[in-house]
């Protein structure tokens, strides 16, 4: 899940991450990273609604992988 990925990835305060997929696991990854003091610089997905949720949860930037190069 997203929390385990944050732990295994060794995220630490002051670091930045990108998350690919803004479904339930990706959103939990955002939450875990934000709680750990990590900037979520980019979240990529193909659904605009999920990207909007990711932005509300703290993603600094989002990218619709289907619409953008």
3-class DSSP state for residue 37? coil
pLDDT of 11 reads 86
What CA–CA distance (Å, rounded) separates 22 from 50? 6
Name the DSSP letter for residue 24: H
State the Cα angle at 49 between 46 and 55, rounded to 5°.
95
pLDDT at 9: 85
pLDDT higher than 80, residue 68 = no
What is the per-residue pLDDT for 4? 87
Give me the pLDDT at residue 18, please.
95
The predicted-structure confidence for 2-56, as pLDDT tens digits, reads as follows: 888 888 888 899 899 999 999 999 999 999 999 999 999 999 999 999 999 999 9
69 has pLDDT over 80: no
């Amino acid at each position: 899940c997203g929390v385990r990925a944050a732990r295994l990835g060794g995220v630490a305060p002051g670091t930045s991450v990108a998350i690919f997929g803004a479904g339930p696991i990706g959103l939990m990854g955002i939450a875990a990273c934000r709680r750990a003091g990590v900037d979520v610089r980019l979240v990529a997905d193909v659904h605009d609604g999920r990207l909007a949720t990711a932005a509300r949860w703290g993603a600094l930037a989002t990218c619709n992988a289907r619409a953008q190069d």
